[in-house]
Amino acid sequence: MEWTFTARVIEWRGPAPFLFLPMPPGHTAAIKELARGIEYWGQIPVSVTIRSTDFTTALFPKDGRYLVPLKLAVQRALDLSIGARIRSRVRIIGRS
């Protein structure tokens, strides 16, 4: 299964500043169900497409929704910054 959505890039400070794309909370239940058995430490492996760029990462659970981490290489390639409105497609890896 895959989800296509548009959201604004946010920053979440952990040990270092990171940029994320928050998934709509309405997708959380379906993602949890489909990811049963493949999640690790609450993270779910996914394939992401933003514009013409494809990359793999793992969704992070945060405040009742999932966050899509935006790798530094992706941020640079697509000139992404905090507040940018981005359309993306997310697919769980390991499930059809």
Task: Give the pLDDT confidence of 45-73 residue by residue, as tens digits.
Answer: 999 999 999 999 999 998 889 999 999 89
Q: Strand 17-22 and strand 10-13: pairing? A: antiparallel
Predicted pLDDT of residue 16: 60
Give the domain ranges of the chain. Answer: 2-92
- Per CATH, the homologous superfamily of domain 2-92 is AF2212/PG0164-like (2.40.30.100)
